[in-house]
Amino acid sequence: MYVGYCVAVQPSLASYRLRVELPSKHLGVGYAIGCTGKPTYFYKNGISRLAEALTNGVVYDVVNDHFRGKHAADYHAMCSIADSITVGSAVMADVVREHTGRDSTIIDDPYENEELPAACVGDDVLWFGHSANIGSIEPYADSITTVCSNVSGAVPWSRQSEDECLSRAAVVVMTGNNPGATANRLVKTLRAGRFVVAPKDCAESWRELAPYIWIGDVTEGIRWALNNREDVCQKIKQGQEYVVQRYSPQLIGSQWADLFASTWEPGQSAPPDG
């Protein structure tokens, strides 16, 4: 088995780093990025004509819900061709099943940042994320003092600026527009030693971390955190212990390795999921 990641090298994309670059280093087998292999991994729009011609297993990782709109044809084509479909959350698995009738394997995003000491210092309230989610902060805009994103008026996003904003934050408000989102932003925040406050209608995957964060009224959650800093730090520490067990690159890499092994069969494609 030699895994080929048929994707462009784009380190600025979280999906590339968390679904390709980082887990590939922990597969325990040979791999290459930017070519086909045995089996071959695709994500985003894929390349359906190439995937259809392959005979050594095709894995299609659905990282966004684009089953309607301008990318729908690519998504449906790749799902029809793939020997195995993967997703990052249970909600996204439901989306795939709804639109294609196929089952998929859930593989989480691993953590990518260093674990730092738990802290709740000062009163800065941070929101960070992609511009696709920026509209979700509108109800809480008065409570947020710093925004790090790829939109005008925000701290311009880079991995360094994101880390710097996290280091200055007392609390991180986490919102989003994608119900099928993975928990990667929450995991990153806990690894950075900061406390998360999320609204009650947050993404379903975030609820797994409920014992270590605040889910509910955002204004109340910020107030509670700033008035109970020792309790906050204790929750962060407990969350960090959970994250190490649940989202380590080694664990996630081994899950990908198992998936690739189950998909690849020398000389022929593996049977479809379902």
Give the whole-angstrom CA distance, residue 148 versus residue 165. Answer: 7
* 149-176 tens-digit pLDDT: 999 999 999 999 999 999 999 999 999 9
Average pLDDT value for residue range 80-107: 97
How far is Cα of residue 274 from the mean position of the Cα atoms in its chain?
A: 24
Give residue 264's pLDDT: 83
- Write the CA distances from 49 to 3, 6, 37, 102, 164, integer angstroms: 19, 13, 16, 20, 43
Mean pLDDT, the chain, whole residue set:
94
Amino acid at 160: Q
* 178-204 tens-digit pLDDT: 999 999 999 999 999 999 999 999 999
Give residue 273's pLDDT: 42
- Closest by CA to 188, choosing from 172, 175, 207, is 172
Are 223 and 199 a contacting pair, CB within 8 Å?
Answer: no
Are 125 and 134 a contacting pair, CB within 8 Å?
Answer: no
- Write the CA distances from 271 to 55, 75, 120, 149, 265, integer angstroms: 12, 19, 51, 42, 9
Q: Is the pLDDT of residue 272 over 50?
A: no
Give the whole-angstrom CA distance, residue 224 versus residue 214. Answer: 9
CATH topology of domain 2-109+249-269: Rossmann fold (3.40.50)
**Do you find a cis peptide bond into 39, omega within 30 degrees of 0?**
yes
The residue that leads in pLDDT, 128 or 271, is 128
Task: Given CATH 3.40.50.2000, say whether it is the number of domain 125-246.
Answer: yes
Are 52 and 74 a contacting pair, CB within 8 Å?
Answer: no
* 34-64 tens-digit pLDDT: 999 999 999 999 999 999 999 899 999 999 9
The CATH 3.40.50.2000 domain(s) of the chain lie at: 125-246
* Helix ranges (DSSP H) in the chain: 14-16, 22-24, 48-53, 72-81, 90-100, 159-168, 184-191, 218-227, 229-246, 249-263
